[in-house]
Amino acid sequence: MKKTWVRLFALVFAFALVLAACTGDEGGDGETGSETGGETGGETGSAGSYSIPASTVRFGYYPCCADQALFAVTAEKGFWDEVGITLDPEGGHQYTLFDQITPSMERGDFDAAATFIQGYLQTLPTFGQDIPPIVFHDIYVGYAILVAPDSSAKTTEEFMAEGMSFPEAAGAAVAQLQGVEVYTPPHGQVQPPYPQVFLNYADMSYPDDLNLQFLEDNKIVQLSAQAGRVEFAIPYAAPVLVQMLRNGYEPLINTQQVLENDVASENGQLMTTLVGSSGIMSQRTWVDEDHDTALRFASAVFRTLDYCTDDATKEDCWTIEANLINATQGLELIPEDIGVIFDSIDPLFLWEDQGPLLWDDPEAQFYVRGSLDVQIASLIENGTLPDQEYDIDAFLVAEDIYQELAALQAEADGLFTEADGLTGNAAELVAQAQTQYDNYNFLDAVGFLEAALGR
């Protein structure tokens, strides 16, 4: 009997060893991204497992403009879904006014919100550092002062056609605004003071030398449809600008004219630093506590920028945006208007543009740090900000996010080389990594590759 029990115990022990070995080859639980398997990862069955965890992000945006309506495309095409993110509320909250965005973030209503970054610099002395930007996705160069088609005022181009130099023509054009009604949205008061650059050509002061009439952009375009009601306007929303131009308004003067004809001057150099950037602001606590989700969230934004500029998909993007903007803002855009905006008014900073244009080169035209330094100095000079030091390093979380994603991209490049030639389950993981990589989700591309290599 004793020998029988010994033999039985030995048999059970041997079976347990075999079972443990088999279980070790099957991989992890598929939920946390844990990895198992052999050291080389070169044989079928030695790979680990990896999955993208689910998360929820409270997100809001104001679909007033092409660059601010991008996120309807992100949501509708499922780009956030594919990196495990569910928006709360579904599809994202849609603000009805620009002025709602910053207060809602101050209250903590959302984890992230789309906004005009320069539009909340005035909050830096108080709560602004708690809602830093995590992505800069476009630059608005469409600033213009528009003049009605039935106005007798001459434009800068008309004065140039008479033989004036650009500075002379610009001065003559803006001098016609002295003391007259000019319509502009209320939030223009906290935007970069680009109208001052225009008025500099006539030695005028903004806003003192204008009779500003404050009205939301979409209301301006509606009022402008009534002959004689709006002679001059300074809109801030690109769709409003495009529709007013299509309705016969002309630029009395605009940013592009300054940059093309006078960029070497003091005014031209000032204009290059005042053009404004749109992006995503976020709760600092959210970025710190759910950092991987913030990286995935940003990757879906970069995928959207690509979708809206790729010849194969851009018209779908334009249609989604035009339909939403028309529905929420009461405009009459056609999809091609969105294309015009992205081409010449609101150029997008694609993933490959981020380093060269925004972060790496202090001499780059849209170098973020240089631009913010000038804009903060302007806000100090006009009394909007107190004269003190501001920690731009701490504010620009977007630069940290970009650098981290770029490092993950480089890491993935190296892992793809190591994973070349893998077969079976490992090859399937490499294919999943490639899909994430192509969609700018470099974080999970690395995760899938490491699992493929059995790490």
Domain boundaries, the chain: 55-70+84-139+277-403, 144-274
The angle at the Cα of 36, spanning 35 to 37, to the nearest 5 degrees, equals 140
Residue 1 has pLDDT above 50, yes or no: no
Residue 38 has what pLDDT? 36
Share of the chain above pLDDT 90, in %: 78
Residue 314 has pLDDT above 50, yes or no: yes
Residue 195 has pLDDT above 90, yes or no: yes
Task: Look up residue 132 and give its two tokens.
Answer: 């830093």
What's the mean pLDDT when you consider all of the chain? 89
24: pLDDT confidence band, cut at 50, 70 and 90? very low
192: pLDDT confidence band, cut at 50, 70 and 90? low
CATH of 144-274, one of 3.40.190.10, 3.30.70.260, 1.10.10.10, 3.90.226.10: 3.40.190.10
Average pLDDT of the residues in 376-395: 91
375: pLDDT confidence band, cut at 50, 70 and 90? confident
Residue 190 has what pLDDT? 64
pLDDT in tens, 102-132: 999 999 999 999 999 988 999 999 999 999 9
Asked if the domains 55-70+84-139+277-403 and 144-274 are classified in one and the same CATH topology, the answer is yes
| β-sheet with 232-233: strand ranges across | 211-214, 181-184, 232-233, 144-147, 250-254
Residue 450 has pLDDT above 70, yes or no: yes
Residue 20 has pLDDT above 50, yes or no: no
Residue 90 has what pLDDT? 98
Average pLDDT of the residues in 192-201: 89
Please state the pTM of the whole predicted model. 0.81
Residue 343 has pLDDT above 70, yes or no: yes
Return d(Cα 228, Cα 243) in angstroms, integer.
Answer: 17
Residue 330 has what pLDDT? 92
Asked whether 98 and 62 are in contact (CB, 8 A), the reply is yes
296: pLDDT confidence band, cut at 50, 70 and 90? very high
Return d(Cα 7, Cα 172) in angstroms, integer.
Answer: 106
Asked whether 68 and 276 are in contact (CB, 8 A), the reply is no
Residue 277 has pLDDT above 70, yes or no: yes
pLDDT in tens, 83-105: 999 999 999 999 999 999 999 99
Residue 44 has what pLDDT? 43
34: pLDDT confidence band, cut at 50, 70 and 90? very low
Residue 347 has what pLDDT? 92
Residue 6 has what pLDDT? 38
Residue 40 has what pLDDT? 39
Residue 12 has what pLDDT? 37
Q: Which of 22-36, 220-234, 326-340 has the lowest mean pLDDT?
A: 22-36
Average pLDDT of the residues in 74-83: 98
**266: Cβ–Cβ under 8 A, 6 or more apart, which residues?**
none
Beta strand pairing call for 144-147 and 250-254: antiparallel
Amino acid at 94: Q
More confident residue, 46 or 65: 65
Residue 141 has what pLDDT? 85
Average pLDDT of the residues in 18-24: 39
Residue 199 has pLDDT above 70, yes or no: yes
**164: Cβ–Cβ under 8 A, 6 or more apart, which residues?**
172
Return d(Cα 239, Cα 339) in angstroms, integer.
Answer: 11
Residue 286 has what pLDDT? 98
The fold of the 55-70+84-139+277-403 domain, in CATH, is D-Maltodextrin-Binding Protein; domain 2 (3.40.190)
Residue 67 has what pLDDT? 95
191: pLDDT confidence band, cut at 50, 70 and 90? low
